[in-house]
């Protein structure tokens, strides 16, 4: 899986050309990344290779757990791991899966034949799959490959994932995965791999039991705390969803309250206008009563000589015309009623009854039409009068 260490590394310009070429391909040979994420993938890989030149981008076939194979980008090489004052190189492969960068990459430790994965290890499975809190808490778009490698170096420096084993037939040309800027001693050069932080194989036989217990307890506490954080985050998210729903209900109720308040305000204004009209009418009637109180007293002293037609006097021509039309209408109504009774009793022939009713009905129609026109003219005159009196009224709404 890992190319030979003797493969020449690409410079910055070649890496840029390579990434631009593979990310711009179309058709069946194109990489399965979304178009809106390709630019960010290119920037992540350029930043990674600039910070860690030992990691080189390339394309390779990745096989998922369901057996599906796909051509993906990867960063293959080594990362520095300081341990007890010495810097070691740890071979890893960073696979950028199809959903990257919205989801974290898949990272494997890639030991050579002279390397063994430590078992058990809190961050590396026996198959080499790496899992650290930074991967589990990956946040798009702030998370990136450079910070990921920095977290790898920090986690591995506390608990290295690999150690070297001695071989019966040493390799005369060991790979260049060793201490940085440290010439290996002759005895180590004879081994198949540079010295590891664990020395010889089977480190579990030489480790202190108390130290192993302490490390396992710390790892267990970290897992428990991480689980509690995930649970709390889910609870807070559910709580936020509830608050958002309540906020939507409150906004809807606010709209209903504002609508009801506006309707009440409009109704209040309409009632104030009606009150103004009533007060104006009351003022007019009070004035009429004051003007006619003397006339009523004079009529009371001469009850025997009261002329009904002189009791009431019309205020204007329209009132006089309305009174005459109304009186004529009611008189014709009484005459028609009397004719009905006479017809029923046989006092009036039917042909005479029909002729009289027809003549009276025509006359009554004209009186009613005239009264309707007079009423309309009176209403118009009253509105004009109230409008003229409104600014001088002493009544407040």
Give the pLDDT confidence of 334-357 residue by residue, as tens digits.
999 999 999 998 888 999 999 999
111 φ/ψ angles, rounded to the nearest 5 degrees = -70, 150
Q: Which two tokens stand for residue 33?
A: 């990344």
Residue 340 is predicted with a pLDDT of 92
Please indicate whether residue 336 or residue 199 has the higher confidence score (pLDDT): 336
Confidence of residue 288 (pLDDT cuts 50, 70, 90): confident
Residue 270 is predicted with a pLDDT of 92
Q: Which residues pair with 108 in a beta bridge?
A: 93, 129
Give the pLDDT mean for 221-248.
89
Distance in angstroms (rounded) separating the CA atoms of residues 201 and 380: 114
Q: H/E element holding 106? A: strand 106-109
Distance in angstroms (rounded) separating the CA atoms of residues 250 and 246: 6
Strand duo 162-164 + 69-83: pairing: unpaired
pLDDT at 177 over 70: no
∠ CA 61-65-68, nearest 5°, is 50
Lowest mean per-residue pLDDT among 118-127, 178-187, 211-220: 178-187
The CB density around residue 357, as the number of other CB atoms within 10 Å, is 17
pLDDT at 304 over 70: no
Residue 105 is predicted with a pLDDT of 93
pLDDT at 358 over 80: yes
327 φ/ψ angles, rounded to the nearest 5 degrees = -65, -45
Residue 207 is predicted with a pLDDT of 56
Q: Which residue in the block uniquely carries the two structure tokens 């009563």?
A: 289
Residue 91 is predicted with a pLDDT of 92
Specify the CATH architecture of the domain 12-163.
Answer: Roll (3.10)
Long-range CB contacts (within 8 A, 24+) of 205-210 = none
Distance in angstroms (rounded) separating the CA atoms of residues 148 and 103: 13
Residue 391 is predicted with a pLDDT of 56
Give the pLDDT confidence of 129-159 residue by residue, as tens digits.
999 999 989 988 888 999 999 999 988 888 8
Nearest Cα residue to 284 out of 387, 386, 395, 396: 386
The CB density around residue 101, as the number of other CB atoms within 10 Å, is 20
**Is the bond preceding residue 101 a cis peptide, omega within 30 degrees?**
yes
Give the pLDDT mean for 352-379.
91
Confidence of residue 55 (pLDDT cuts 50, 70, 90): very high
Residue 310 is predicted with a pLDDT of 65
Please indicate whether residue 202 or residue 130 has the higher confidence score (pLDDT): 130
Distance in angstroms (rounded) separating the CA atoms of residues 27 and 315: 100
Mean pLDDT estimate for the chain: 80
Q: What global pTM score does this model have?
A: 0.43
**Could you state, in order of their start, the residue ranges of all structural domains in the chain?**
12-163, 317-388
How many secondary structure helices (H) and strands (E) does the chain include?
9, 6
Distance in angstroms (rounded) separating the CA atoms of residues 84 and 355: 134
Q: Which residue in the block uniquely carries the two structure tokens 């009351």?
A: 282
Q: What percent of the chain has pLDDT over 70?
A: 79
Distance in angstroms (rounded) separating the CA atoms of residues 335 and 353: 11
CB-based contact 5:176 (threshold 8 Å): yes
């Amino acid at each position: 899986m890992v190319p030979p260490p003797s493969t020449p590394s690409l410079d910055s310009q070649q890496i840029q050309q390579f990434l631009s070429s593979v990310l711009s391909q179309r058709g069946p040979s194109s990489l399965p990344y979304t178009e809106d994420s390709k630019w960010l993938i290119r920037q992540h890989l350029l930043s990674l290779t600039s910070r860690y030149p030992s990691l080189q981008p390339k394309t390779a076939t990745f096989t998922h757990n369901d057996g599906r194979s796909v051509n993906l980008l990867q960063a293959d090489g080594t990362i520095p791991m300081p341990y007890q004052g010495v810097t070691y190189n740890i071979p890893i492969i960073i696979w950028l899966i199809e959903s990257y960068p919205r989801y974290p990459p898949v990272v494997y430790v890639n030991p050579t034949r002279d390397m063994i994965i430590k078992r058990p290890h809190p961050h590396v499975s026996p198959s080499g799959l790496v899992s650290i809190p930074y991967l589990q808490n990956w946040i798009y778009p702030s998370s990136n490959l450079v910070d990921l490698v920095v977290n790898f170096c920090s986690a591995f420096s506390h608990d290295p994932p690999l150690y070297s084993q001695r071989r019966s037939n040493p390799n005369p040309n060991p790979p260049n995965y060793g201490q940085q800027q440290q010439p290996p001693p002759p005895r180590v050069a004879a081994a198949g791999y540079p010295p590891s932080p664990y020395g010889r194989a089977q480190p579990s036989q030489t480790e202190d039991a108390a130290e192993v217990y302490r490390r396992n307890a710390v790892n267990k506490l970290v897992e428990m705390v991480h689980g509690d954080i995930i649970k709390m985050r889910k609870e807070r998210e559910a709580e936020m969803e509830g608050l958002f729903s309540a906020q939507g209900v409150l906004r809807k109720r606010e709209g209903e309250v504002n609508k009801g308040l506006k309707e009440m305000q409009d109704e209040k204004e309409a009632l104030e206008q009606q009150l103004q009209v009533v007060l104006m009418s009351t003022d007019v009637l009070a004035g009429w009563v004051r003007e006619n109180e003397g006339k009523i007293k004079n009529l009371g002293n001469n009850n025997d000589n009261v002329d009904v037609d002189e009791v009431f006097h019309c205020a204007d021509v329209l009132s006089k015309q309305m009174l005459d039309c109304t009186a004529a209408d009611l008189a014709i109504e009484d005459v028609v009623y009397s004719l009905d009774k006479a017809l029923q009793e046989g006092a009036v022939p039917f042909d005479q009854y029909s002729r009289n009713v027809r003549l009276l009905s025509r006359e009554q129609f004209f009186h009613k039409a005239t009264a309707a026109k007079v009423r309309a003219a009176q209403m118009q005159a009253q509105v004009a009068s109230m409008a003229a009196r409104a600014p001088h009224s002493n009544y407040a709404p």
